[in-house]
Amino acid sequence: MTNTVPASVAMLKVLEAWGVKNIYGYPGGSFNSTMSALEQEKANIHYIQVRHEQVGALAASSAAKLTGRIGVTFGSAGPGATNLLTGLYDAREDHAPVLALVGQVPHYNMNYNFFQEFDEGPMFADVAVYCRTVMTPESLPYVVDKAVREAYKQKGVAVVIIPNDFGYAAIPDVPYKSTSPSDRKPTPQPAATDEEVDQALALVKAAKRPVFHVGRGIRQGGDKLIALSQKLQIPIIMTGLSKGLVSEDYEGNIGFVNRVGSKSANEIFDIADLVIAIGADFPFANNVYTRHPFKFIQVDNDEAEFGRHHYIDLGIWSDGTQFIEKMLDRSTAVAPSAFFKAAVRDHQNWQAYLQKLYNRDTDPLEFEPVYKELNRIANDKTVISLDVGDNTINLLRYLKIAPTNKWTVSALFASMGAGIPGAIAGALEFPDRQVVSISGDGAFSMVMQDLITEKKYHLPILNIVTSNTTLGFIRDEQADIPGMNDYSGIDLEDQDFVKIAEGMGIEGATVTKSSELPAAFDQAVAALQAGRPFVLNAKITLKRGFPVEALKVKVVAGKVEETVAPEFNANKVEPTITTLEELFAHYDGEELKPLQYFLDEAGVTL
């Protein structure tokens, strides 16, 4: 006689076979059969009770992005299901493998307009690479196994909708998993051919001002890219998600392009005549790639990406690092390049400006010293969960991140409120590492109820809140909208985040000037070392970071004509600024030089 097991338990055993350790969610009546199974399997799989399903989905997405392994979340029928969508779209956009288990009313109540019953499949059809409603108890573990496999294969979200009564039903207790040692093999990667690389090298040879635009597709190839950059004298410009993959101490790494980036990267990109994009999914291409014409080489391991952001002169279907290695093998070192030298000097000038701001004391507090103190207490294994907003700009400019660090952000979906969920996932997945979340007050207040989740599970997380009672990133956008004439909807009521945290039994400190930061960070480190979460409320000014998006660069008669974009400060909230000198001075950057200065210094002719 075959032994039996509740179908929901059989389903969890499938997840355990796939190596799932944590599952994030919030109970509901239509999910009780799975909740019962989680109680029975609590020694093998950990249920993490979040206080909002969106937090659970964002945590599962972050876990997948930090580890590469499947993240699992759940919600009950009705509002529990709809609350999952933001986190699931975050996973979809960042190509993270996530499984969402969704409750449904018992099958005998379906299609009767029963309480909280609705047709959930169409809602998840767009976000999911695989979406199925379980039709029999016996198929429940099979469908979940298939869902995990599809999420891995397609690097996306799989959704399984479970009528509640099916989970209680007894089914044969047999192995339903399909896992095997082959699942641990690295995914085979396409490789560039000799002919393709030679075509790329020919385009490089013909170019006068080539640049690399590099995404996370280079994986662990950062040092090899540096060697290629030196050999061919090509500056490196990064996308945000690749921060930490190429050493920022390398002089040829000139930073990030677009609003979050460096003055130097934006200026140099705007005079480049060849862009070599390697493993870069750049969602702001229409802001940057359209500013001037250039030849374009795109290297990607997903040929569906070709032409997604720019027409291509040469597309190479290849793993990024393999392409770099073959370029190194088949290329000849070039003489020192005046263009490369100008790019380096331009970036050194920008870095000196950032260091001046980074090292000065401020009262009232500005944002740069916060990052200085974070760099002091962090290490090369720290896990960072970044929320969206001005902190995106500031992290990319000021935080030191090494290849050994882990960091996550809602990169392409850009969902506010991802900071705390990502930190919860980071602390659970990497219990031996220091974990930090960084959020503005707008984003933090969306999910701060889940500080209690950190407390409940004894997660030593440093929660940094940069609060200035404003949606700063949107404020600065509105400042540059012609005809808007005023700010709208961006003012936030002030809150005492430390008192809120203390009400949950969590320690905290509020700082209002830079001299208070060292003691507050030391207090935070002590709490983390004792296994407790901590909230650090850094009350910063409304200061706008240097607006690289205000720089307008074009080549006229062989010289760079660099001006202040007419849309900058269109709202007239800043003093009237019409020249580069006025722009630099307004942002305390009197030492900053225009691009033409460095081209002249290096002897570059256009």
Q: Which of 106, 295, 318 is closest to 209 using CA atoms? A: 295
Contacts 24+ apart (CB under 8 A), 169-172: 169/6, 169/7, 169/137, 170/4, 170/5, 170/6, 170/7, 171/4, 171/5, 171/6, 171/7, 171/10, 171/137, 171/138, 171/140, 171/141, 172/2, 172/3, 172/4, 172/5, 172/138
Nearest to 462 by CA among 417, 519, 506, 404: 506
- What is the rounded CA–CA span in Å between residue 519 and residue 513? 12
Q: How many angstroms separate the Cα of 297 from the Cα of each of 2, 207, 314, 343, 450?
A: 60, 12, 5, 20, 45
Structure tokens at 360: 């000065």
**Three-class DSSP labels, 187-242:** CCCCCCCHHHHHHHHHHHHHCCCEEEEECHHHCCCHHHHHHHHHHHCCCEEECHHH
Half-sphere exposure for 311 (CA within 13 Å, toward CB): 5
d(CA 94, CA 220): 18
Biggest alpha carbon distance in the chain? Answer: 88
Q: How far apart are CA 570 and CA 479, in angstroms?
A: 6
Q: From its phi and psi, is residue 187 left (phi > 0), alpha (psi between -120 and 50) or beta?
A: beta
CB 352 within 8 A of CB 262: no
- C-alpha–C-alpha distance, residues 291 and 282, integer Å: 15
User: Which residues participate in catalysis according to the annotation?
Assistant: 53, 115-116, 259, 388, 473-474, 477
Helix 472-479 × helix 390-398 angle, to 10°: 100
